[in-house]
Chains A and B, each alone.
Chain A
Amino acid sequence: MFKKRIAMQDFVAESRLFKRRAIVAMLFVSMLFGVIIINQYHLQVRLYQDYQTRSEGNRIKVVSIAPNRGLLYDRNGILLAENIPVFSLELIPEQIANMQETLTALAGLIDITEEQQESFLKDVRQQRRFNSIALKEQLNDQEVAILAANQHRFPGVTVEARLSRHYPFKDLFTHAIGYIGKINPNDLRRLEQQEVLANYAATREIGKIGMERFYESRLHGTMGYQEVEVNNRGRLIRVLRSVPAISGENITLSLDVGLQLTAQQILKNQRGAIVAMDPRDGAVLAFYSNPSYDPNLFVHGISSRDFNYLNNSPDRPFINRVTQGVYPPASTIKPHLALLGLETNTITPTSRIWDPGYYQLPNNEHRFRDWRRWGHGWVNVYNAVIESCDTFFYDLGVKLGIDRISDYMGQMGFGQRTGIDLLEESAANMPSRGWKQARFNQPWYPGDTVPLSIGQSYWTTTPLQLLVTTAVILNKGQKPTPHLARSFSGTKNTEEVSPPLIPVIDMVDEKNWDVVMDTMRQTVSTVKGTAYNAFRDATYQAAGKTGTAQIIAIAQDAKYDADALDERHRDNAMYIGYAPYDKPTIVLAVALENAGGGGSNAAPIARQMLDYYFTAGVNDNE
């Protein structure tokens, strides 16, 4: 009984004790839940913005989309540079059970080199397993067909099409259009300086040379992008927002495929350049430098073998002879010099001199020879241009003096870049007293002026420069700026290219223009004219001037004998011309390296070009 009572007492006390402890436990639980709630409040309310931002940063990635590069067309809408799909064999490692087996099987179907396999396996190791990795690029049609037929055997193996630049005319437009190539560190630096690097995030190629480079900013377009949701492994889940890329502007060139082909066919293996332009607005109609090369080689990275072959070729195909070929203009500048003589009244249309076959400076024994050893007899400005009399111009040049020649020819555009829409252009050289002093630290001697007067010695020019200065004469003092691009068409509007003519020469007597142009007409149309044979029976009235430039000096009494000279020491043949005479729509320049006389070699080429031009009606819509 006693024991039981004690137990009863204990039970009540124990029960009370337990209840107190249970309440403490409940308070403890509530307190720790309070801690959790405070922490949750801290994370979910006070730091909400931070974590929200970080959460979005986790899941949203921006994927840039390269714009399609603008296309290039000739003046008639024929495609000169396009974007074509190229096929590549790509594998997704994640989906391939046995990589080595698959590679062996694929190599049994199409030709896959050891090198390709090694570089592929290297990429596999470096990239994420769900990325598609190229095993072989630029598949041919047959390979695509074989792979397509066997596709079912290879899960995770696909043939992918990507857009790639292609120049269907291969070497025909290379020096005008240029090419694109893989972006290199130099390009990156340039893009960064121009602050357009961000726009190239998805772009792999950039214009390297020619119009592709000059008009890079127009051709490239504007990058688009997608905001995509990705999972923790970077796999794309869905597209949240998409801003499409804006394609680059298409450019229509003023060049004509037919005229280009004519130039290429005429030149064959002859090193040289042919360039033609509409003198009224500077639209370039033909632009061909020979030899040329296939720009497609550069698009996917040129092989070192191909590059070395081209780079080491003695014919120097990389040189753009139209704008970078620096040649003595020779007699082609005689009309220009005649014009200066007339304007300064140093000569008149009727004044004449006696040509014994050579020219001597006063009190000097040295004989500057005329190309015709026995001389032209009495010559005025007409005969002098038509027959290309050297003595007449030696005399005129010395009378004019270097300063007037240098100034005036500079105004016409000699020794200056023409401003054509290419970065590859040489200014060539229009010498002056100051130039010689700076270059050779020597004063200018009268003896320097003599050969200069027939476009030799220090005076050099590019075919394009020669063309533009000739256009200045046809335009009576107005200089056109040559341009290859004729119009740009973007997504919305079309922009015509029409740079204004620049007045460079203010002629005192307007008739002087006509005199000079008449001498050029008669060079072509009179029997004695140096270009008469070339233009006999032409259906249009052409005008022009021949030139034959010596490459090496010939000893005082030696006779020039082409056959005895090494081919590369033979004369350059030059020609400038235009047509129709009364209302010129085309002016052209021809420069042939080591071809011999201008009248017999360059003029017939000009004739063929002009024949095509008028027969095909290249510029008829103007």
Chain B
Amino acid sequence: MSNYFVSSSGSRSKMAAFHIDGWLLLGLLALIGFGLMVLYSASGQSMSMMKAQLIRLGLALAVMIVFAQISPQTIKRWSLPLFGVGLILLAAVLLFGHVGKGAQRWLDLGFMKFQPSEIMKLATPMAVAWFISSHALPPRLRPLLIGFLMCAIPTLMIAKQPDLGTAILIAAAGVFVLFLAGMSWRLITFIAVLLSAFAPVMWFSLMHDYQRQRVLTFLHPESDPLGTGYHIIQSKIAIGSGGLDGKGWLQGTQSQLEFLPERHTDFIFAVLSEEFGLFGVLLLLSLYLFIIGRGLLIASQAQDNYSKLVAGSFTMTFFVYVFVNIGMVSGLLPVVGVPLPLVSYGGTSMVTLMAAFGIMMSISTHKRMLANN
């Protein structure tokens, strides 16, 4: 056990006193810095947007620090109640929710609008991890099935809003808990086969027209260059014309002249690709990889299974964000509304994400006290 006492040194121990993981913070700040630079260009050098984003980032960082102070035990105790509240709120959204952009996602609390699916991004993996970690690992079939059920309920409720992007993220978060808990490879293969068999059913019965259209457009973007294919074509032109070293900061013609839609939100990766080229993309991916690597290391070194599973799941969800966003912007995946984490302009998801990083920092820095107990 003694190795847990000597893991920290120098300034990092000072950081640890505030329950901040230095390496993770460094990675996040580097990413945020680069992201702000790209956003400045993507927003058309809008100072008001920069200001709003900075305020949001400040708030998100504060949330992260606050969450880092809460011990993993406390967080673990909250897992199930939070999950329960989240489910109730999701049901409320479906019943009384505010309709925006054709989807029912918001709950109007009078003083603010609130997206309960954001809670579920944290609550689902936390609740699944809580449940799975109460059994021995690797989990047997029964707890696994219950775990799957715990993922499926919020996923389907959110998919019904409809918000496919968030649904995918929540499903992924829950499934990663099960995977990291040691679900057998045979079962993984079986589920994969089952899912591919289930795909046609999803296509015809569960997906909305616009979602089907997105998939079709993804497969043949040039078939409708002015309609739904426009986004992806313009996005690929922006990426491709960036070349190796890019057109230069603020010099991206696709983005500055607004050929690129949603340039400061979901498609900001295309702006980065256009202005900073392949080198910029590699830098961005390196930053993400660094954060993901650090996250998985924190998970591996966590003291109890709950912490391992939660930290691992949060990290992998973060990765799913990155992959789904870049995949859709560069034409590898259908268009699904997922922002590029910590780079895209926008609100609630960033706060949720930083709350998750706060929990990971808590896990990374509360080991000593845990060991002392």
- Residue of A at shortest CB range from B236? A43
- The A interface is mostly helix, strand or loop, or mixed, namely helix
Using Cβ atoms and an 8 Å threshold, which residues of chain B touch A233? Answer: 258
Q: Is the CB of A55 within 8 A of B292?
A: no
6 cross-chain CB contacts under 8 A: A25-B176, A29-B289, A30-B289, A44-B243, A58-B253, A58-B259
Q: Is the CB of A44 within 8 A of B239?
A: yes
The 3 closest A-B pairs by CB, nearest first: A51-B240, A55-B241, A231-B257
- Given A17-B138, A21-B180, the answer on whether A39 and B332 have CB atoms closer than 8 Å is yes
Query: In the complex the two chains form, what is the Cα distance from A55 to B233 in whole Å?
Result: 11
Q: Is the CB of A18 within 8 A of B300?
A: yes
Q: Is the CB of B239 within 8 A of A51?
A: yes
Number of A-B pairs, beta carbon distance below 8 Å = 137
**Which B residues from 304 to 335 make CB contacts under 8 A with A?**
305, 308-309, 312, 315-316, 319, 323, 326-327, 330-332
Q: Is the CB of A50 within 8 A of B240?
A: yes
Query: In the complex the two chains form, what is the Cα distance from A230 to B182 in whole Å?
Result: 56
Using Cβ atoms and an 8 Å threshold, which residues of chain B touch A40? Answer: 239, 273, 278, 281, 330
Query: In the complex the two chains form, what is the Cα distance from A43 to B257 in whole Å?
Result: 21
Query: In the complex the two chains form, what is the Cα distance from A43 to B309 in whole Å?
Result: 37
Query: In the complex the two chains form, what is the Cα distance from A26 to B319 in whole Å?
Result: 10
Q: Is the CB of A44 within 8 A of B244?
A: yes
Q: Is the CB of A22 within 8 A of B312?
A: yes
Q: Is the CB of B257 within 8 A of A237?
A: yes
Using Cβ atoms and an 8 Å threshold, which residues of chain A touch B332? Answer: 35-36, 39
Q: Does A404 contact B (CB under 8 A)?
A: no
Inter-chain pairs besides A22-B180, A22-B312, 15 sampled, C-beta below 8 Å: A18-B300, A18-B312, A19-B300, A22-B296, A25-B312, A25-B315, A25-B316, A37-B285, A40-B281, A43-B236, A43-B273, A45-B243, A50-B240, A55-B254, A58-B234
- Given A18-B182, A45-B243, A231-B257, the answer on whether A25 and B277 have CB atoms closer than 8 Å is no
| Cβ proximity bits A4-30 to B, threshold 8 Å, 1 near / 0 not | 000000100111011101100110011
- Given A35-B332, A47-B240, A51-B237, the answer on whether A21 and B182 have CB atoms closer than 8 Å is yes
Using Cβ atoms and an 8 Å threshold, which residues of chain B touch A51? Answer: 236-237, 239-241
**In angstroms, how far is the closest chain A Cβ from the Cβ of B222?**
12
Q: Is the CB of B326 within 8 A of A48?
A: no
Using Cβ atoms and an 8 Å threshold, which residues of chain A touch B316? Answer: 25, 29
- Given A40-B330, A45-B278, A52-B240, the answer on whether A59 and B253 have CB atoms closer than 8 Å is yes
Query: In the complex the two chains form, what is the Cα distance from A14 to B136 in whole Å?
Result: 8
Q: Does B30 contact A (CB under 8 A)?
A: no
Using Cβ atoms and an 8 Å threshold, which residues of chain A touch B315? Answer: 25
Q: Does B18 contact A (CB under 8 A)?
A: no
Using Cβ atoms and an 8 Å threshold, which residues of chain B touch A35? Answer: 332
Q: Does B229 contact A (CB under 8 A)?
A: no
Using Cβ atoms and an 8 Å threshold, which residues of chain A touch B293? Answer: 26
Q: Does B338 contact A (CB under 8 A)?
A: no
**In angstroms, how far is the closest chain A Cβ from the Cβ of B296?**
5
Q: Is the CB of B278 within 8 A of A18?
A: no
Contact of B240 (CB < 8 Å), options: A44, A59, A231: A44
Query: In the complex the two chains form, what is the Cα distance from A229 to B332 in whole Å?
Result: 30
Contact of B330 (CB < 8 Å), options: A14, A39, A45, A55: A39
Q: Does B131 contact A (CB under 8 A)?
A: no
Q: Does A435 contact B (CB under 8 A)?
A: no
Q: Does A41 contact B (CB under 8 A)?
A: yes
- Residue of B at shortest CB range from A24? B179
- Residue of B at shortest CB range from A230? B257
Q: Is the CB of B237 within 8 A of A58?
A: yes
Using Cβ atoms and an 8 Å threshold, which residues of chain B touch A48? Answer: 240-241, 243-244
Using Cβ atoms and an 8 Å threshold, which residues of chain B touch A14? Answer: 136-137, 182, 305
Most buried by B among A19, A25, A35, A231: A25
Q: Is the CB of A18 within 8 A of B299?
A: yes
Using Cβ atoms and an 8 Å threshold, which residues of chain A touch B327? Answer: 36
Q: Does B97 contact A (CB under 8 A)?
A: no
**In angstroms, how far is the closest chain A Cβ from the Cβ of B364?**
14
| Cβ proximity bits B206-243 to A, threshold 8 Å, 1 near / 0 not | 00000000000000000000000000001011111111
Using Cβ atoms and an 8 Å threshold, which residues of chain A touch B234? Answer: 58
Query: In the complex the two chains form, what is the Cα distance from A59 to B274 in whole Å?
Result: 14
- Residue of B at shortest CB range from A18? B308
- Residue of B at shortest CB range from A40? B281
**In angstroms, how far is the closest chain A Cβ from the Cβ of B320?**
9
Using Cβ atoms and an 8 Å threshold, which residues of chain B touch A423? Answer: none
Using Cβ atoms and an 8 Å threshold, which residues of chain A touch B257? Answer: 58-59, 229-232, 237
Using Cβ atoms and an 8 Å threshold, which residues of chain B touch A43? Answer: 236, 239-240, 273, 330-331
Q: Does A33 contact B (CB under 8 A)?
A: yes
Contact of B238 (CB < 8 Å), options: A18, A33, A36, A55: A55
Query: In the complex the two chains form, what is the Cα distance from A330 to B123 in whole Å?
Result: 114
Q: Is the CB of B285 within 8 A of A36?
A: yes
Q: Does B85 contact A (CB under 8 A)?
A: no
Contact of B179 (CB < 8 Å), options: A13, A25, A39: A25
Using Cβ atoms and an 8 Å threshold, which residues of chain B touch A373? Answer: none
Q: Does B103 contact A (CB under 8 A)?
A: no
Most buried by A among B234, B273, B278, B315: B278
Query: In the complex the two chains form, what is the Cα distance from A497 to B281 in whole Å?
Result: 68
Using Cβ atoms and an 8 Å threshold, which residues of chain A touch B273? Answer: 40, 43-44
- Given A21-B182, A47-B240, the answer on whether A33 and B253 have CB atoms closer than 8 Å is no
**In angstroms, how far is the closest chain B Cβ from the Cβ of A589?**
66
| Cβ proximity bits B235-278 to A, threshold 8 Å, 1 near / 0 not | 01111111110000000011001110000000000000100011
Q: Does A32 contact B (CB under 8 A)?
A: yes
**Which B residues from 149 to 182 make CB contacts under 8 A with A?**
176, 179-182
Query: In the complex the two chains form, what is the Cα distance from A30 to B316 in whole Å?
Result: 12
Q: Does B282 contact A (CB under 8 A)?
A: yes
Q: Is the CB of B253 within 8 A of A55?
A: yes
Query: In the complex the two chains form, what is the Cα distance from A58 to B282 in whole Å?
Result: 27
- Given A40-B273, A59-B259, A232-B259, the answer on whether A45 and B244 have CB atoms closer than 8 Å is yes
- Residue of B at shortest CB range from A41? B278
Using Cβ atoms and an 8 Å threshold, which residues of chain B touch A59? Answer: 253-254, 257, 259
Query: In the complex the two chains form, what is the Cα distance from A32 to B281 in whole Å?
Result: 14
- Residue of A at shortest CB range from B315? A25
Query: In the complex the two chains form, what is the Cα distance from A48 to B239 in whole Å?
Result: 9
Q: Does A54 contact B (CB under 8 A)?
A: yes
Q: Is the CB of A36 within 8 A of B330?
A: yes
Q: Is the CB of A18 within 8 A of B330?
A: no
**In angstroms, how far is the closest chain B Cβ from the Cβ of A94?**
16
Query: In the complex the two chains form, what is the Cα distance from A534 to B285 in whole Å?
Result: 103
| Cβ proximity bits A218-237 to B, threshold 8 Å, 1 near / 0 not | 00000000000111110001
Query: In the complex the two chains form, what is the Cα distance from A10 to B182 in whole Å?
Result: 13
Using Cβ atoms and an 8 Å threshold, which residues of chain A touch B312? Answer: 18, 21-22, 25
- Residue of A at shortest CB range from B288? A33
**In angstroms, how far is the closest chain B Cβ from the Cβ of A458?**
69
Query: In the complex the two chains form, what is the Cα distance from A231 to B254 in whole Å?
Result: 9
**In angstroms, how far is the closest chain B Cβ from the Cβ of A452?**
74
- Residue of B at shortest CB range from A229? B257
Using Cβ atoms and an 8 Å threshold, which residues of chain A touch B292? Answer: 26, 29
- Residue of A at shortest CB range from B240? A51
